Amino acid sequence: MKTILVVAVLVSSAFAADQSMVTTAESACGPRDTRFAVNIENKQHPPAVAQDGKALVYVVEVFERPSNQLARPTTKIGLDGTWVGANKNNSYFFFPVEPGDHHLCMAWQSIHKAYANKIALSSFSAEVGKTYYFRARIVEHDEGGAAWFTLDLEPVNNDEGHLLIASSAFGSSHLKK
């Protein structure tokens, strides 16, 4: 009986540690129930200039799906625990950041729990006047007819960033009420 109790305590401690690590990792995101609406500007690429004393961050959504049967999802982007915007339909947006270390979060905005729990994380150190590019990918995997998705948020170099922006539409997002 004591052995079972010891094992139960150890397992619950390991689970609590795992939950603590997940909570810490997710701290780059904002509140889960925050929702965005995204307007796509297919013909407009607004000029972006870093504000004095800040850096500039671009996030470009890339939805890698072999088929077009599902509507394009909305992905929200968080910076240091606050949602800063969202993308949809392979769009991009940009925002200024203070210099220093930052943590980014990408989350799938969905009413379906299986998708809404998906996140990807990245971090970077911003320098005044520099521009940073991130590819926010939604990748469909298909194994034996069963499709599932993963998210990936990765920094890309300036050349790749320029190419991604040129082949994407600008998206402006606002919080849904």
Q: What is the C-alpha to C-alpha distance for residues 102 and 79, in angstroms, rounded to an integer? A: 7
Mean pLDDT lowest among 11-25, 42-56, 140-154: 11-25
pLDDT of 54-83, one tens digit each?
Answer: 999 999 999 876 555 556 789 999 999 999
**Residue 144 — pLDDT band, cuts 50, 70, 90?**
confident
Q: Is the pLDDT of residue 96 over 50?
A: yes
The domains of the chain, with CATH numbers, are 28-175 (2.60.40.1120)
The pTM of this model reads 0.82
What pLDDT is attached to residue 57? 97
The strand ranges marked E within 26-163 are 36-41, 55-64, 74-79, 82-88, 91-97, 100-109, 119-126, 131-143, 146-156
